[in-house]
Amino acid sequence: MTQPLLSVENLSTWFHTSSGVARSVDGVSFAIGAGETLGIVGESGCGKSVTALSILRLIQPPGRIEAGSRIMFEGKDIVTLDDKGMRGIRGNRISMIFQEPMSALNPVFTVGDQVAEVARVHGNGSRQDAWNRAVEMLSLTGIPSPEERAKQYPHQLSGGMRQRVLIAMALMMTPALIIADEPTTALDVTIQAQILELLVELQNRLGTSILMITHDLGVIAETASRVVVMYGGEVVEEAEVKTLFAGAHHPYTEGLMNAMPQITASRGRLNVIPGTVPSPTEWPSGCRFRDRCSYAWERCEREHPPLYQISGSHTSRCHLAVEPERRAHPHLPLVEQANATV
Amino acid sequence: MTTATNRPPADASDSPPGTPLESARSLVSVRNLRKVFPITRGILGRKVGEVRAVHEVSFEIAEGQTLSLVGESGCGKTTTGRAILRLIEPTSGEVRFAGKDILAMGPAELRAIRRQMQIIFQDPVSSLNPRMTVGAAIREGIAIHRLAEGAAADAKVGKLLDEVGLRREYASRYPHEFSGGQRQRIGIARALAVEPRFIVCDEPVSALDVSVQAQVINLLRDLQKERRLTYLFIAHDLSVVKHMSDHVAVMYLGKIVEQAPAEDLYREPLMPYTQALLSAVPVADPTVVKQRIILEGDVPSPASPPSGCVFHPRCHHPARDAACSKINPPLEEKAPGHFAACIKQVPTTVSWEEQLKAGGVNPPERYLPVVEQLSRH
């Protein structure tokens, strides 16, 4: 593989709270190539958003990026950059699109001002140049009559329009990487389709890399080329999108896919993953998914599974990789056994 | 089979209220339901306009069945659900529950009937009182309706917790001690406590993670089977709706634009809006090649809905023309049990002469753009 654009190596972001250390991100590694879309998928509390915030160094105390973590981007280690160096990257080389466009925009400034601000902070052109560029970007994101829209306030725009404004803002400095954290979760499905199409189209045109963070496997399937599945603060599986959807290896990924209601599937009972995500202050020993797993055996409690190589670039954090015969013997997961005894 | 029961009148907006069409098995019957919210301005609350949140909505739900209302934000699905329970007073129309006229009821009568009609809310955090233990929250309804007292009530709470998959000892805990999925189970237990026959489920799984969402969907389905419950399921997620529903009604700008048995609607959506809605759902299969219909623009404001067909400014039907902006399309039966409001989708009762007179240039034609994609599976 050629030099990746961004490589996250052994990233740990822990929150040192009064009720214990929450190991929200715990030894995460992945890389994104230039022009590539990498998806991170997982449920609430899996650490996907904290990973994104760590890349932009937006972690507030009691959170901390732990020693031994490296985030290499364009030859620099983001973890050790000073504030000035970080300001040169944030919003300039790496920008972010947040989930909730209403709370990400300032209600008392016009959207044009807010988009132009990016160029005023990072560029050296005049106010007028920044404004013109903002209008150009708004137009690029498909906002009709951008000159007029730029003079409006966030509350005058619909949810879809606001999300386009955020995308325009993210694109202002033509960054090398855009981190999109659930960019369509708050939107209606027809608007989501518009925004996803826009992102893919802009990426083709501008060659930007995208880190797409979502809980929706459908969004991943349609936008990403490679996927990282996170659970319990760790990467549990990584593969090319086609490989993953053709045959997930990790029981969690498998469970997630089966639990998802599919519009193409016939009506019927859904498969469930029993139990809930454990708390980041007390991950289970060994495999963090073992309580909810229908294959777990004693090794899973004793030994924390490494990322095994399944094939090519497909990896999975599950001992089934070395004891595949166990897959033939599913049983009731521990959480269900515990419930049954009550 | 469940034919006949969920059919709206062939032309909902024109039929006089009280048309005798409800079959004996229909538990909930809604006819020409309307809710108008005034838009006021200034300290005197001068009325400057109105929002037609729900406009001439009619449907029936047979006992033990699920009708889903789907649509995007602001389409009026939640208002419809609340108006049926009179949590919001409807402006006009008719709501019958087990033959009784809900809208004509006085406060005492309404309180009594609400025992049989419950609601489960989207956000289990804000719908539970943080200062009440789970047991107390569930007991509240039991006490109000005097269904049990003392130890009998405790036993009932325990049984309900069992039924929704929670441990009995959770009764003494507070809502904040639970995860989102568990709280939604508590919400369900509370609704079940008064032994209702009908439950309005308002986006009950939208706030939940995928793995937990599946647990709650299965729970709702199991409870329906065991207790012969009737659901009005309100949701925006078409995949979830597919797993829950017997019948589906699609709403757009306060109106039902298509209504059919679930299988028919997903197999052959006839209204161009439904087609776009279905084609927009991301499919978790990278090998599927989609011919997606991307709608232009946003949903218009319900304060000034477009004339004629409310969907016409965004419509992608190849025969769309000036007649669509003039003629109010009736919700008409296009195939047995399958109703859609589109004058360009054949067959239609709006004659070609009428369309010509309204400026029409394109005769109606059969247009089914997403069928291929969805049926490949």
Q: Given an 8 Å threshold on Cβ–Cβ distance, is A272 in contact with B214?
A: yes
Residue B293 — very low, low, confident or very high, per pLDDT cuts 50/70/90? Answer: confident
Q: Which residues of A touch B181 (CB under 8 A)?
A: 276
Question: In this complex, which of A193, A242, A274 lies closest to B280 when CB atoms are compared?
Answer: A193
DSSP class of residue B305 equals P
Return d(Cα B109, Cα A44) in angstroms, integer.
44
Q: Which residues of B touch A144 (CB under 8 A)?
A: 297
- Quote the pLDDT of residue B371: 56
Quick one: average pLDDT of B261-280?
Answer: 93
Would the pLDDT of B23 be above 60? no
Tokens in use for B326? 């003039």
Return d(Cα B173, Cα B189) in angstroms, integer.
15
Residue B43, judged by CB atoms within 10 A of its CB (0-12, 13-18, 19+), counts as exposed
**Segment A158-182, tens digit of pLDDT:** 888 899 999 999 999 999 999 999 9
Quick one: average pLDDT of B17-36?
Answer: 73
Are B217 and B66 within 8 A, CB to CB? no
Does A62 reach chain B within 8 Å, measured CB to CB? no
Q: Nearest-CA neighbor of B165 among B229, B246, B237, B219?
A: B219
Would the pLDDT of B21 be above 60? no
Q: Given an 8 Å threshold on Cβ–Cβ distance, is A218 in contact with B288?
A: no
Sketch the domain layout of chain A as residue ranges: 102-172, 252-341
Q: Given an 8 Å threshold on Cβ–Cβ distance, is A267 in contact with B243?
A: yes
Does A241 reach chain B within 8 Å, measured CB to CB? yes
Question: In this complex, which of B262, B280, B298 lies closest to A189 when CB atoms are compared?
Answer: B280
- Residue A177 phi/psi, 5-degree rounding, is -140, 135
Are B295 and B272 within 8 A, CB to CB? no
The dihedral through the CA atoms of A291, A239, A94, A67 has a sign that is: positive
Residue B91, judged by CB atoms within 10 A of its CB (0-12, 13-18, 19+), counts as middle
- Quote the pLDDT of residue B11: 44
Q: Given an 8 Å threshold on Cβ–Cβ distance, is A221 in contact with B281?
A: no
Would the pLDDT of B248 be above 50? yes
User: Hey, which residues 73-102 in chain A have their CB within 8 Å of chain B?
Assistant: none
Does A190 reach chain B within 8 Å, measured CB to CB? yes
- Quote the pLDDT of residue A104: 87
3-state DSSP of chain A: CCCCCEEEEEEEEEEEECCEEEEEEEEEEEEECCCCEEEEECCCCCCHHHHHHHHCCCCCCCEEECCCCEEEECCEEHHHCCHHHHHHHECCCEEEECCCHHHHCCCCCCHHHHHHHHHHHHCCCCHHHHHHHHHHHHHHCCCCCHHHHHCCCHHHCCHHHHHHHHHHHHHCCCCCEEEEECCCCCCCHHHHHHHHHHHHHHHHHHCCEEEEEECCHHHHHHHCCEEEEEECCEEEEEEEHHHHHHCCCCHHHHHHHHHCCCCCCCCCCCCCCCCCCCCCCCCCCCCCCHHHCCCCCHHHHHCCCCCEEEECCEEECCHHHCCHHHHHCCCCCHHHHHHHHC
Residue B373 — very low, low, confident or very high, per pLDDT cuts 50/70/90? Answer: low
Share above pLDDT 90 across residues of chain A, in percent, rounded to a whole number: 69
- Token pair 């000073």 is at which residue? A82
**d(CA B145, nearest CA chain A) in Å:** 30
Tell me the pLDDT of chain A averaged across its residues.
Answer: 91
Tell me the pLDDT of chain B averaged across its residues.
Answer: 88
Q: Nearest-CA neighbor of B75 among B275, B300, B316, B325?
A: B300
Q: Given an 8 Å threshold on Cβ–Cβ distance, is A267 in contact with B240?
A: no
Tokens in use for A286? 């060994």
**d(CA A144, nearest CA chain B) in Å:** 9
- Quote the pLDDT of residue A275: 83
Does A314 reach chain B within 8 Å, measured CB to CB? no
- Quote the pLDDT of residue A25: 96
Q: Which residues of chain A have pLDDT under 70?
A: 1-2, 266-267, 338-342
Does A248 reach chain B within 8 Å, measured CB to CB? no
Would the pLDDT of B317 be above 80? yes
- Quote the pLDDT of residue B324: 96
**Segment B169-189, tens digit of pLDDT:** 899 999 988 888 889 999 999
Does A206 reach chain B within 8 Å, measured CB to CB? no
Would the pLDDT of B258 be above 90? yes
Q: Given an 8 Å threshold on Cβ–Cβ distance, is A222 in contact with B168?
A: no
**d(CA A46, nearest CA chain B) in Å:** 11
- Quote the pLDDT of residue B3: 43
Are A269 and B218 within 8 A, CB to CB? yes
Name the pTM for this structure: 0.86
- Quote the pLDDT of residue B20: 37
Would the pLDDT of B19 be above 70? no
Q: Nearest-CA neighbor of B174 among B156, B164, B186, B157?
A: B186
- Residue A223 phi/psi, 5-degree rounding, is -120, -35
* Strand bridging mode B66-70 / B117-120: unpaired
Q: Which residues of B touch A193 (CB under 8 A)?
A: 279-280, 282, 292, 294-295
Would the pLDDT of B94 be above 90? yes
- Quote the pLDDT of residue A90: 92
Return d(Cα B71, Cα B56) in angstroms, integer.
16
Lowest mean pLDDT among A160-164, A201-205, B20-24, B206-210: B20-24
